Structure 1
């Protein structure tokens, strides 16, 4: 069993930009690369789980997302950070078009992407976390049985009044990583 950090992408790893899909618009959150290196050095496998309703809405395609995710993974690899997997949900029940307008188990707050990662990568759920900037990220983590962590980047500052008592809050991914390093 492997301890794992599940990570939302937009607003957690990279700066939140509506419907981000172009490499030239991608920008890591402040100290996010350092944070991911710390987590990796602590022995956590890193799995990205991201809702991508821009695909459902027809703003960009799955190929665009794959290119962007590959870019992010390669940039992190240059800095000694290995991303184990990147899962995404391209669905949206109300705003989706065509085959993407479905109710699914993968769109957070549903835990489908996390459960897939748990099954595929032998995740030790008792020693794993879900880090995100939205209530839906936290709820997906709770439903999957991992510890929910809110970062105040992206939409995180607006989520604080709605928090479940199980949720720990940090200014950003770097603060979470450094505090976790102190525990280990």
Structure 2
């Protein structure tokens, strides 16, 4: 197992934060983004996934990402990876699994623009031991970091996830809406949670993504 604190050759902004720019697309300043959790949202969650051979994408997720690609909307993965802090696997295992996720998406003509992963957790050791780290969802740090690097308009962005922590991170980052996989609709002040449980909900998500592109003036 790789040493989880070794920065090379991985794109670690700090010992517990992976920030990977994928592709070379340049987006205009003020563009809204599609944020996605990974495990349980893009791929089925196998419980601390560390084997690329076990990765299976959720139905329709590639279509949602492709819709964002067509609309000129950046697609950003924001994923908690406490398994690294806990010593269950290392950054090398994360890299292999994440590479497989991106590979499967590309095979369905769906492309991700940035991946952020937070390995900090209170059950960790050494530099990865941190309680309530600002980068770990439900804190908004990963979304804010992506916005800083890509000059995004967070207010008009949306997040898709399978946990309340994903929705809370979106709300704290100032997003206006989130889509909860197999969840229920809810309104929290100015942040609206919409469900993604069936085909009608998914059609609504596609419409929301298209609206982001239209608001951005994308072709």
Report the TM-score, using the length of structure 1 for normalisation.
0.86
The answer to whether the 8 A contact 1:4-1:123 is kept is yes
1:118 alignment partner in structure 2 = 147
Structure-2 change in CA distance of 1:30 and 1:161 (3 Å): closer
After superposition, the C-alpha distances for 1:74-113 in whole angstroms (9 at most, x for unaligned) are 33223322211110010111x2233221132100011110
2:166 alignment partner in structure 1 = 137
The answer to whether the 8 A contact 1:21-1:65 is kept is yes
Structure-2 change in CA distance of 1:75 and 1:5 (3 Å): same
User: Shift of the alpha carbon at 1:16?
Assistant: 1.6
Greater percentage in helix: 1
2:8 alignment partner in structure 1 = none
Alignment RMSD, CA only? 2.2
2:18 alignment partner in structure 1 = none
More displaced 10-residue stretch of structure 1: 43-52 or 165-174? 165-174
The answer to whether the 8 A contact 1:131-1:148 is kept is no
Matches within 5 A, 1:1-184: 1-93=30-122, 95-103=123-131, 104-153=133-182, 157=183, 160=184, 164=188, 166-171=192-197, 174-180=202-208, 183=211
After superposition, the C-alpha distances for 1:137-179 in whole angstroms (9 at most, x for unaligned) are 11111111113323334xxx4xx49873622222268445333
The answer to whether the 8 A contact 1:5-1:129 is kept is yes
Q: Tell me the matched-pair count.
A: 178
After superposition, the C-alpha distances for 1:13-66 in whole angstroms (9 at most, x for unaligned) are 111211012101111001211221112212211000000111111100011111
Structure-2 change in CA distance of 1:9 and 1:92 (3 Å): same
Structure-2 change in CA distance of 1:5 and 1:181 (3 Å): closer
CA distance in structure 2 between the aligned counterparts of 1:161 and 1:42, rounded to whole angstroms: 25
Divergent runs of 4+, >6 A: none
